[in-house]
Structure 1
Amino acid sequence: MMIHTRERAYSCSVCGRGFGNSSYFNRHMRNHTRKRSYNCSVCGKGFVTSSNLTEHMKIHNGERP
């Protein structure tokens, strides 16, 4: 029922943003803690999600300007 009422079971203690899903909440919290588990093997830049790293790699592969 929380989806339909837009209730949020998980609330960020840093910024107050609410989440109905623990996975989204945990990913959001890594932004505040600066924990970057996915690192670029070319330049060393870190990312919270693997999809962000994949998108970043397009720069090095010449797929994106």
Structure 2
Amino acid sequence: MQCGYCTDRKRVLDRHRITHAGEMPYMCGECEYTTDNQSNLTKHNKMVHTREKPYKCCDLCDYSTTSKGNLDRHMDKHTDVKHYMCGECGYQAADKSSLSRHAKKHTGEKPYKCDQC
């Protein structure tokens, strides 16, 4: 079976092949965590062991995080940027989860029921 993945770099292809073999050659030196790539191990160490959060927010709040992507999503809250729009009514949301929650208003979906009633 071929997956169709192609690249112009051997190193990148070798790293990709690991995903098919199910190998987890990168191991954390402080816990049992293993992964198939160095980037995930680096993120794991920052989040779990060093608690390093190099990405800081502005003067508006004291939010900090381990990744630039998380900071970018957080900053949208301060700038009122709305990337997601409801196709049904035009409602705009800053994140996917807010749009998903909103969409349930159109479908009438109420997946959470009280187990006491």
Whether TM-score is above 0.5 comes out as yes
TM-score norm. by structure 1 comes to 0.81
Aligned to 1:11: 56
User: Are residue 46 (structure 1) and residue 92 (structure 2) matched?
Assistant: yes
Deviates more, 1:48-57 or 1:12-21: 48-57
Q: Give the Cα–Cα distance (whole angstroms) in 1 for the partners of residues 46 and 65 of structure 2.
A: 10
User: Are residue 29 (structure 1) and residue 75 (structure 2) matched?
Assistant: yes
Q: Give the Cα–Cα distance (whole angstroms) in 1 for the partners of residues 63 and 95 of structure 2.
A: 19
Aligned to 2:15: none
Q: Could you tell me which of 46, 54, 71 is aligned with 1:2?
A: 46
RMSD, aligned α-carbons: 1.5
Letter in 2 for 1:27: R
Q: Give the Cα–Cα distance (whole angstroms) in 2 for the partners of residues 16 and 5 of structure 1.
A: 19
Q: CA deviation at 1:50?
A: 2.3
Q: Give the Cα–Cα distance (whole angstroms) in 2 for the partners of residues 2 and 54 of structure 1.
A: 30
TM-score norm. by structure 2 comes to 0.49
Aligned to 2:14: none
Deviations 1:7-64 (A, max 9, x none): 1010001212101011111100000000001122333321112232122101111113
Q: Which has the higher contact order (CA 8 A, sep 6+)?
A: 1
Aligned to 1:63: 109
Larger radius of gyration: 2
Aligned to 2:26: none
Q: Which runs of 5+ in 2 are unaligned?
A: 1-44, 111-117
